[in-house]
């Protein structure tokens, strides 16, 4: 049988309308916008901005955000059309199943594990860094380095990390919250979103007057910038890695492109909104609104925030001493002592903000696997709902264990870039899928249509591919290895249990073979 069996679009729509057997519809339009902001405002500003500026783009990380935002907006328009047409859990996985067939859907569903699960691990590591900062500033003690860092990290004093326990702790707490139910989780998220918006605006307003113009000169990193020895251990040589600014992707416009790939990690919030489509009260109206409004608001804040952060501190600071809890570091080091309260407030607020990001990531991941399980591509345990709360609680526990392994033992720079490449790959397929769906199913009602098809979707796919190129060969290889593992599972399990394949073999209508 063909690898490209497709799910029938009408059966998907009828499945979305069946609220008796599936997930509860509890999310309003405002809750979806807050859900998007909850995912977007977080690690991208508070961790990945410093990472991209220090390693690749310097002050020109603002350009990186603009490039990432353009690619994100174009993909977001495609997501909005799909979400208004197919308002069902699963995000890019479900859209690909309807447009490009089962094999491509499996690839994207497996790839979304990188996007959501490793995204949650990345933010949990950032949460651990800021928790340590809060403990040092407020309570006067520091969590021992070995208990809040991975084995691949080493301090300036020569102490080597063992396990990141605070990261595992926050993952456990939020997993328990998600098992209680999506509605309760959304209420908590709304409160945190207000807190995060307040601290972002405060930092921009107060930090702007202390920008040092010398830190923005030159705006692009020159190729002659001296190398820097990092606090990250190379697992092959067991020595400290050295960052070479002379590399193409670490200076100039090449660095801007690479920086865009790094900070793109933070833009996955709007497609996390689409994974909750089956829990939205009015998905055809509210899904496009939730996706595009949250994206527009956050992009403006990203650009302003990154301009202030790189104006306060030299970009080279963010490779080492300013790399952990970078925002708090910049305030304490480069703003007057009278603003020490701001550093403490930022640290506390960021802890809550990161929590909402992890919450949305874990939610999105289990909803993707919920859809894949309902289709027979992964075991039924991933769609088993709690008898009282109607949440995929077993799936939630399994992903807690999986995400915890990465959060506990792998540096954030590694898992963060794997998240970005997974996200970008998903966006490429969604952009292509909109073009294919316009040709194959032009009759399906769409309450939102992507403008200028096929030009804008093609442009979106090309920009995303450019950012994938900027992430470098190491991340490409990791993606290839991850996909090979996925192929083994697909051909070993999924092809034997696929419901779409069984329907096609029996001659039923819900599946199409191409």
Q: What is the mean pLDDT of residues 474-482?
A: 86
Query: What is the spatial distance between Cα 35 and Cα 263, in angstroms, rounded to a whole number?
Result: 19
Res. 513 pLDDT band, cuts 50 70 90: very low
From the CB of residue 455, how many other CB atoms can be counted at a distance below 10 Å? 11
Q: Which two tokens stand for residue 206?
A: 């107060």
Residue closest to 87 by CA, chosen among 491, 335, 445, 478: 445
For 85-102, the pLDDT digits (tens) are: 766 655 667 777 877 788
Residue closest to 10 by CA, chosen among 109, 98, 104: 98
**Which residues on adjacent β-strands are paired with residue 27?**
280
Q: What is the DSSP string of 368-431?
A: HHHHHHHTTSS-GGGGPPPTTT-S-HHHHHHHHHHHHHHHHHS-HHHHHHHHHHHHHHHHHHHH
For residue 125, the Cα-to-chain-centroid distance in whole angstroms is: 14
Res. 391 pLDDT band, cuts 50 70 90: confident
For 107-128, the pLDDT digits (tens) are: 888 887 877 888 889 889 989 9
The better pLDDT of the pair 459, 440 is held by: 459
Task: For residue 41, give the DSSP letter.
Answer: S
* Pair type for strands 228-233 and 240-243: antiparallel
Instruction: Look at residue 514 in the predicted model and tell me its pLDDT.
Output: 41
The tally of domains found in the chain comes to: 1
Q: What is the mean pLDDT of residues 6-14?
A: 70
For 235-285, the pLDDT digits (tens) are: 667 788 889 999 999 999 999 999 999 888 777 766 666 656 666 777 667
Cβ contact 168:404 at 8 Å: yes
Residue closest to 226 by CA, chosen among 329, 154, 314: 314
Burial code (b: 16+ CB inside 10 Å, e: under 16) for 22-37 equals: bbebbbebebbbbbbb
Q: What is the mean pLDDT of residues 324-348?
A: 87
Q: Which two tokens stand for residue 499?
A: 């419901």
Q: What is the DSSP string of 218-283?
A: SSSPPTTPPPEEEEEE-TTT-SEEEE-TTSGGGSHHHHHHHHHHHHGGGGGHHHHHHHTGGGBSSH
Which CATH number does the domain housing residue 246 bear? 1.20.1740.10
Residue 171's domain comprises 6-20+28-512
Cβ contact 164:409 at 8 Å: yes
Query: What is the spatial distance between Cα 219 and Cα 217, in angstroms, rounded to a whole number?
Result: 5
Residue 182 has pLDDT above 60, yes or no: no
Instruction: Look at residue 177 in the predicted model and tell me its pLDDT.
Output: 85
Please state whether the peptide bond connecting residue 454 to the residue before it is cis, i.e. omega within 30 degrees of 0. yes
Query: What is the spatial distance between Cα 146 and Cα 148, in angstroms, rounded to a whole number?
Result: 6
The percent of residues in the chain predicted with pLDDT above 70, rounded, is 85
For residue 162, the Cα-to-chain-centroid distance in whole angstroms is: 26
For 394-431, the pLDDT digits (tens) are: 889 999 999 999 999 988 777 877 888 888 888 898 89
For residue 223, is it within any domain?
A: yes
Burial (CB count <10 Å: 0-12, 13-18, 19+), residue 448: buried
For residue 500, is it within any domain?
A: yes
Residue 80 has pLDDT above 80, yes or no: no
User: Worst-scoring range by mean pLDDT, 85-94, 140-149, 368-377, 418-427?
Assistant: 85-94
The better pLDDT of the pair 246, 478 is held by: 246
Q: Among 95-104, 176-185, 285-294, 458-467, which range has the highest average pLDDT?
A: 458-467
Q: Among 41-45, 57-61, 108-112, which range has the highest average pLDDT?
A: 57-61
Instruction: Look at residue 510 in the predicted model and tell me its pLDDT.
Output: 47
SS (H, E, C) 302-369: HHHHHHHHHHHCCHHHHHCCCCCCHHHHHHHHHCCHHHHHHHHHHHHHHHHHHHHHHHHHHHHHHHHH
Task: For tokens 């709902």, name the residue.
Answer: 385
The better pLDDT of the pair 290, 370 is held by: 370
For residue 1, is it within any domain?
A: no
Averaged pLDDT score across all residues of the chain: 83
For residue 270, is it within any domain?
A: yes
């Amino acid at each position: 049988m063909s690898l490209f069996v497709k799910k029938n679009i009408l059966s998907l729509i009828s499945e979305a309308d069946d609220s008796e057997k599936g997930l509860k519809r509890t999310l309003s339009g405002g809750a979806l916008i807050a859900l998007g902001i909850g995912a977007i405002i977080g690690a991208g500003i508070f961790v990945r901005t410093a990472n991209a500026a220090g390693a690749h783009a310097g002050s020109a990380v603002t350009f990186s955000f603009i490039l990432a935002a353009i690619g994100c907006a174009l993909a977001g328009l495609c997501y909005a059309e799909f979400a208004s047409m197919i308002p069902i859990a699963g995000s890019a996985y479900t859209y690909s199943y309807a447009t490009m067939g089962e094999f491509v859907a499996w690839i994207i569903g497996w790839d979304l594990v990188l996007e959501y699960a490793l995204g949650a691990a990345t933010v949990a590591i950032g949460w651990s860094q800021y928790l340590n900062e809060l403990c040092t500033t407020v309570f006067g003690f520091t969590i021992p380095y070995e208990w809040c860092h991975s084995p691949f990290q080493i301090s300036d004093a020569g102490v080597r990390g063992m396990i990141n326990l605070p990261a595992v702790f926050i993952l456990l707490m939020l997993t328990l919250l998600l098992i209680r139910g999506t509605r309760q989780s959304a209420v908590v998220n709304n409160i945190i979103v207000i807190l995060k918006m307040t601290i972002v605006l405060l930092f921009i307003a107060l930090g702007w007057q202390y920008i040092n113009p010398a830190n923005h000169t030159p705006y692009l990193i020159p190729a002659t910038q001296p190398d820097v020895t990092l606090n990250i251990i190379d697992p092959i040589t067991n020595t400290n890695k050295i960052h070479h600014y002379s590399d193409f992707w670490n200076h100039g416009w090449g660095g801007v492109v690479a920086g865009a790939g790094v900070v793109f990690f933070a833009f996955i919030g709007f497609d996390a909104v689409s994974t909750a489509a089956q829990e939205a009260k009015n998905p055809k109206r509210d899904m496009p609104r939730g996706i595009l409004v949250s994206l527009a608001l956050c992009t403006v804040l990203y650009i302003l925030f990154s301009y202030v952060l790189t104006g306060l501190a030299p970009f080279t600071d963010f490779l080492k001493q300013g790399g952990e809890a970078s925002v708090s570091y910049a305030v304490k080091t480069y703003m007057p002592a009278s603003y020490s309260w701001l550093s403490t407030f930022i640290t506390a607020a960021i802890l809550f903000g990161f929590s909402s990001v992890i919450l949305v990531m874990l939610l999105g991941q289990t909803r993707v696997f919920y859809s894949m399980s309902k289709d027979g591509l992964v075991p039924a345990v991933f769609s088993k709902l709690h008898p009282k709360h109607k949440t995929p609680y077993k799936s939630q526990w399994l992903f807690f264990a999986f995400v915890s392994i990465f959060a506990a033992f792998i540096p954030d720079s590694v898992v963060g870039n794997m998240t970005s490449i997974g996200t970008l790959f998903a966006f490429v397929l969604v952009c292509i899928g909109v073009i294919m769906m316009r040709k194959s199913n032009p009759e399906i009602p769409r309450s939102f249509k992507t403008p200028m098809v096929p030009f804008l979707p093609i442009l979106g796919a090309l920009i995303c591919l450019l950012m994938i190129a900027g992430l470098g060969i190491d991340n490409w290889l990791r993606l290839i290895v991850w996909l090979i593992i996925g192929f083994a599972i697909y051909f070993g399990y999924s092809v034997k249990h696929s419901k779409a394949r069984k329907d096609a073999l029996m001659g039923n209508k819900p599946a199409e073979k191409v």
